[in-house]
């Protein structure tokens, strides 16, 4: 339902999804994403820095990864 809503809003392209099941962002979707990222980066908020600079450096997979430590996602079947 979310994908269809995003297609209806013009954020995702309908043709790639209907023909192959792949999601492709439209130009409008790219503009929206750039606008959101631009607003966060302009403010240089602590949240933006934490996500962009620190969170991306944390390993997600394995018994010591973020998924295992938080218990929010299953890690045992990760390909390592």
Name the phi and psi angles at 37, rounded to 5.
-65, -40
Predicted confidence at residue 40, as pLDDT, reads: 66
Sign of the torsion angle spanned by Cα atoms 32, 38, 39, 45: positive
pLDDT mean by block of 10 residues, the chain; 80 residues: 92 92 92 80 70 76 76 66
Predicted confidence at residue 62, as pLDDT, reads: 75
């Amino acid at each position: 339902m979310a994908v269809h809503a995003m297609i209806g809003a013009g954020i995702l392209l309908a043709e790639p999804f209907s023909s192959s099941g792949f999601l492709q962002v439209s130009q409008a979707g790219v503009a929206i994403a750039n606008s959101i990222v631009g607003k966060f980066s302009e403010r240089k908020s602590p949240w933006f820095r934490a996500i962009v600079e620190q969170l991306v450096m944390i390993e997600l997979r394995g018994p010591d990864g973020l998924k295992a430590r938080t218990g929010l996602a299953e890690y045992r079947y990760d390909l390592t």
